[in-house]
Amino acid sequence: MRRFSQRNSLVTLSDINITPLLDLAFVLLIIFVITTPLLEKSLDLKLPHGGQTEKKLDKNDIATVEISSTGVYALNKQRMYLSQLLARLSRDNRANPNLVVYLRADKECRYDLVAQVIDGCQRIGLTRFSLRTDPTPQ
């Protein structure tokens, strides 16, 4: 009599191993969770405490100006000189009359740097400001 043997030599796998795919997905998720808060703000600022929570505006109506404690200016996360900043704000104000300037200045920043931005905005016709603070209590 002849014995029947198992055919394990030519067996094809019909399932896909998804463990490496899940590992990759979890690593990407962790990377995005860590880097997303860093992308929201371009300069590392310590805002003064106070103020209230804000009402929501359309993102196209907001221009965020940031001033670091060392005097570095940034408009919508792009670093630039004060003259460039005012020229860009003037152009944006002509394109969008509902433009509101969010002014974020480090609490260690010299006051004259903030005053130069406010004065320049008033000269180009921008009168809607929001001086940003950290709403969390100390």
Residue with tokens 């003037």: 90
Share of the chain above pLDDT 90, in %: 28
Looking at the domain 59-131, which fold is it? Nucleotidyltransferase; domain 5 (3.30.420)
* Cα gap 27→119, rounded to integer Å: 47
Task: Show me where the domains of the chain are located.
Answer: 59-131
- Better pLDDT: 49 or 64: 64
The β-bridge relationship of strands 62-67 and 73-75 is antiparallel
Q: How confident is the model at residue 15 (pLDDT cuts 50, 70, 90)?
A: confident
> Residue 41: what pLDDT?
62
Tokens, residue 11: 């067996």
Measured from the Cβ of residue 9, the count of other Cβ atoms closer than 10 Å reads 6
Which sign does the torsion angle of CA 26, 32, 35, 36 carry? negative
| Of 8-17, 43-52, 82-91, highest mean pLDDT | 82-91
- pLDDT surpassing 70 at residue 92: yes
